[in-house]
Amino acid sequence: MTSYKDQVSKYERIPEGGNPAQTEAWAMIETAKRLATAILHGADDDFETRKKRKDALRLNWRLWTIIQAELTQTRPDLPPDLQVNMLTLCNFIDKHTVGALLDPTAEKLSVLIDINRNIATGLMQMPEDAAKAAAKESQRTLEKPTPGEPHQRIDAKV
């Protein structure tokens, strides 16, 4: 088994498309890095440092909002209990981020960093076949029009 450090080093640059799980893992690690940087510079309480901290928190919040939106869609590739657990985690992230924006302590940011790292580690360990199957199912879901609604494709960017 490769170490966490080895796994992270693979994601120093933006991953190639075609593997949503790997892209999501990269996004989780990237936002965790930005939050960690905000902690490192947390001793400085100047305007620029506070802005970087809030920017990192907002980026993480946007990422989790995208994940939450994806999870609210019909996902036959996800077990229902996993979908509910992830939506519950998204709800926690929402509430915790609001608290961290109001009072951005190192402890509050560390909670978000740990969650992102743990989820990213799980995503990186997904077998490639399972990730490709999930990507195909997700693509089919996006391309199917909802009855009574016009066909529309949605692309989300982090």
Q: How far apart are CA 102 and CA 9, in angstroms?
A: 33
Q: How far apart are CA 156 and CA 23, in angstroms?
A: 12
Query: Tokens in use for 98?
Result: 């609001």
| Confidence at residue 67, expressed as pLDDT on a 0 to 100 scale | 94
Residue 27's Cβ-side half-sphere holds a number of Cα atoms within 13 Å equal to 20
Q: How far apart are CA 56 and CA 91, in angstroms?
A: 18
Alpha-carbon Rg for the chain, nearest whole angstrom, is: 17
pLDDT tens for 110-144 read 999 999 999 999 988 876 555 455 555 545 544 54
Query: Tokens in use for 64?
Result: 């989790």
C-alpha 143 chain-centroid distance: 23
| Confidence at residue 152, expressed as pLDDT on a 0 to 100 scale | 42
Contact 116, 106 (CB under 8 A): no
| Confidence at residue 110, expressed as pLDDT on a 0 to 100 scale | 95
| Confidence at residue 40, expressed as pLDDT on a 0 to 100 scale | 85
Q: How far apart are CA 82 and CA 40, in angstroms?
A: 34
Contact 57, 35 (CB under 8 A): yes
Give pLDDT < 50 ranges for the chain: 1, 4, 7-8, 10-11, 131, 138, 141-142, 144-147, 149-158
